[in-house]
Amino acid sequence: MSRVLIIGAGGVAGVVVKKCAMLPEYFSEIHLASRTVSKCEKLQQEVGSDRVVGVYSVDADNANEVAELIRKVEPSLVINVALPYQDLPIMDACLETGVHYLDTANYEPKDEAKFEYSWQWAYQERFKEKGIMALLGAGFDPGVTNVYTAYAAKHYFDEIHYLDIVDCNGGDHGQAFATNFNPEINIREITQKGKYWENGEWHETAPISVRKDLDYPNVGVRPSYLLFHEELESLVKHFPTLKRARFWMTFGDAYLNHLRVLEGIGMTSIEPIDFQGQKIAPLEFLKAVLPNPGSLAEGYTGKTCIGTYVTGIKDGKEKTIFIYNNCDHAVCNAEVGAQAVSYTTGVPAMIGASMMLQGHWMKPGVWNMEQFDPDEFMERLNKYGLPWHVVECESPFKE
C-alpha cells in the first residue's frame, strides 16, 4: 500500500497530484490537504475521487494539526508542496508520527531570506533514530540539477571541478510582470545578494549584477544573471572536488525594470509595515495583486531550458558536458493544465516520491538528491515527461 498525503494545492501541487494520479502502480491512494480546501476539491474533481480519495483543510504552520491529519490518513509518505515556511512544522509532524517526508524547497523563516539547509540538516539524527527518511529539494532546481550533477560525476568524469547550473525560461505569458512560481518566494530569491563558491569559500555579489549572455539549446541567446540558489550549498558539500559552483537564471529587460521599480518603492520588502491598523509585509501584498502563477498556463508559449554544465577530468584530460532538458509550456498545459515551471517542479517531486516508495532511494535520515544513485531517477525523467540530453561541448564559462 503506497498511500501519500500531498500538502499544498498551488501550481506545483496541481502537477504532482495529476502525475501521481496517472500512476496507481506507484501511488495506490492520494490524499490532498491545504490551507484552502476548495482548491483541493477542485483538483479532486479534475482527477476523480477514485484517485484523490480524501481532501482536507490544514494549517501546515501548525505541526500538531499536521500530525493529527497524518494519524487520520496514515500515509507512507508526506509530499510537501506548500511553501518553504511550512517545511519544519511538516518535518516535525512526520517525526512525531513516523512517516517519510519529501519537499521541493529549503525551509525559510518568514522574516529573513536565507536559502540554506542548516535548519533541515539539523534533523538528520532524529530522522535516523526514528527510522524515517526526508528527501530535500526534489523539484527541478534544486532537484534534477543535483541529480544531473551526480550523473555527470558518476558516468563522465574521474573528478568534477567546475559547475554552472543554468535556468532559462524562454517562454512568453503575455503579462507585463508575473512570476512563474509563488511570487513571494521567487522575489525573495532574486532580490537577495548573488553568491557563488570558489576555491573553498563563498563570494557575494550585488543582486542581479553579474551578467553573461548564454546560448540555450532550442531557445537561443538570453541574458543570464548570477544568483545564489540553494542546491549550490549541498552540491559543494557533497562534491568537495568542486573548485567553483555557480547558478545562472535568465531575466528579460522588462522583468528587471519592473522588479527595480517595485524594489525602489519598497514593495519587495519582507519587513512588515503598519497599514490601516494591520501589520502587513509589502511583498505579501504584492503577491496578492500579481497574477496567480497557475493562471499563466493558458496561452503560454515557448520553452524552458534548465541544465548543468560540468567541467572535470576524465583519463587525465579536461572536458565539459552539458546535461539539460527543454520543456514546452503549451505541451505541459495540454497534458496537465500547467505551465512549464510548475511542471518541471511537480514531475521530479512525483518521481522522487516513487523512488522512495519503491525503495530505490530509501534510507533513514535527511538527504539531498545527489546523495543517491542517479540512474533510475534519470530513466524515470525520460519516461514521465522530462527527457534530457547530454552534449560534450566547449565550456561557455572559460574566462
Specify the residue, 127 or 343, whose C-beta has the smaller distance to ligand NDP.
343
Instruction: Kindly tell me which of 100 and 188 has the beta carbon lying closer to ligand NDP.
Output: 188
**Minimum distance from CB of 64 to ligand NDP (Å)?**
13
Residue 5, classed as helix, strand or coil, is: strand
CB under 8 Å to 264, separation ≥6 — which residues? none
- Determine contact, residues 27/98, Cβ cutoff 8 Å: no
Candidates 13, 88, 133, 386: give the one binding ligand NDP (CB under 6 A): 13
**Which DSSP string corresponds to 41-65?**
HHHHHHH-TTTEEEEEE--TT-HHH
Q: Which is nearer to ligand NDP, 75 or 142 (CB)?
A: 142
Would you state the cell numbers that stand for residue 236, as one nine-digit string?
559543494
As measured in angstroms, the least distance from the Cβ of 341 to ligand NDP is 6
Nearer Cβ to ligand NDP (320/333): 333
* Termini Cα distance of the chain: 53
Among 75, 142, 170, 352, interactor with ligand NDP by CB under 6 A? 142
Q: From the list 5, 30, 32, 83, which residue makes contact with ligand NDP (rule: CB under 6 A)?
A: 83
Residues 170, 11: Cα–Cα separation, whole Å: 19
The whole-angstrom separation of Cα 54 and Cα 40 is: 9
Q: Look-up: residue for cell 497530484?
A: 17
Q: Which H or E run includes 331? A: helix 329-336
Best CA proximity match to 293, nearest among 258, 253, 249, 343: 343
Please choose, out of 69-77, 81-89, 272-280, 330-338, the segment that lies near ligand NDP by the rule CB under 6 A. Answer: 81-89
Ranges within 287-326 binding ligand NDP (CB under 6 A):
293-294
CB of 99 to ligand NDP, least distance (A): 17
* Residues within window 171-200 making contact with ligand NDP, judged by CB under 6 A: 181-182, 185
- Tell me 27's DSSP state: -
Least distance between ligand NDP and beta carbon 313 (Å): 29
Query: Could you give the string, one character per residue 330-369, with x where binding to ligand NDP holds by CB under 6 A and - elsewhere?
Result: -----------x---x------------------------
Q: How far is the CB of 287 from ligand NDP (least distance, A)?
A: 8
Q: Count residues binding ligand NDP (CB under 6 A).
A: 34
**Close Cβ partners of 304 (under 8 Å, ≥ 6 residues apart):** 167, 168, 169, 170, 171, 219, 325, 326, 327, 329, 340, 341, 344
168 three-state secondary structure: strand
Q: Exposed/middle/buried for 153, CB within 10 Å: 0-12, 13-18, 19+? A: buried
Please tell me whether residue 143 binds ligand NDP under the rule CB under 6 A.
yes
Q: Which residue, 17 or 157, is less far from ligand NDP as judged by CB?
A: 17
Rounded least distance, CB 58 to ligand NDP, Å: 5
70/83 with CB nearer ligand NDP: 83
* Closer residue to ligand NDP in complex, CB, 137/171: 137
d(CA 195, CA 229): 8
Question: Which residues have a Cβ under 8 Å from the Cβ of 208 and sit 6 or more positions away?
Answer: 190, 194, 225, 227, 251, 256, 259
Taking the complex as a whole, the smallest distance from the CB of residue 153 to ligand NDP amounts, in Å, to 20
Q: What are phi and psi for residue 98, nearest 5 degrees? A: 75, 45
- Write the binding mask 39 to 78 for ligand NDP: x where contact by CB under 6 A, - elsewhere: x------------------xxxx-----------------
Among residues 19, 31, 35, 100, the one that binds ligand NDP under rule CB under 6 A: 35
* Residues lying near ligand NDP in the complex (CB under 6 A): 8-13, 34-36, 39, 58-61, 81-84, 86, 104-105, 137, 139-143, 181-182, 185, 293-294, 341, 345
